[in-house]
Amino acid sequence: MGMEVGGKKGAPMASMNVIPLIDILLVLIIIFMVITPLTPKGLEALVPQPPPPNQKEQPQDLEKKTIVVQVLENNTLKINEDAADWDTIGPRLSEIFKLRAEKVAFVKGDDNVTFSNVARAIDVMRANGVEKVGLITAKLEAGQ
């Protein structure tokens, strides 16, 4: 509805009706609020990055720095090629990460391992001092 203030009787007055415009803007705001996706919550995953091509790292330094927990298909575990089992992995990881400033480790599962075993390994790692857990896949290990 337009409102006329002053002026002569019968003279045309140009006034914009903004009520429909506000209604359209409110509908657009509601539509954008509904379709805006919420940020998903989940585990934060790290992916190990290969070193730059011109820089070569010593293999001994890399093994001292990187911890990889392998979940094998016969329900056994390895920590950097050392055999482990579900009962001893927690205390060993606590001992490894007790004096480290960088508390990052990676999990690698065989192709035939169920995800529940990998999730159990991640849970044990987080409970025993590992702050960030990364995942290693076959493609990543092959350099693809």
pLDDT score for 96: 85
- What global pTM score does this model have? 0.55
pLDDT class for 80, splitting at 50, 70, 90?
A: confident
* The Cα angle at residue 72 between residues 100 and 123, in degrees rounded to 5: 50
Percent of the chain with pLDDT over 70: 74
CATH class in words for 45-50+57-141: alpha beta
Q: Is residue 27 over pLDDT 90?
A: yes
More confidently predicted of 129 and 47: 129
Average pLDDT score, the chain: 79
Cα atoms in the 13 Å half-sphere on the side-chain side of 18: 3
Per DSSP, the residues of 33-58 read HHHSPPPP----EE-PPPPPTT----
**CB-CB contact of 93 with 128 (8 Å):** yes
pLDDT score for 62: 41
What's the whole-number mean pLDDT along residues 108-112?
A: 85
The model's pLDDT over 58-76, given as tens digits with 9 standing for 90+, comes to: 555 444 668 889 998 888 8
Q: What are the residue ranges spanned by the domains of the chain?
A: 45-50+57-141
Q: Which amino acid is located at 115 in the chain?
A: F
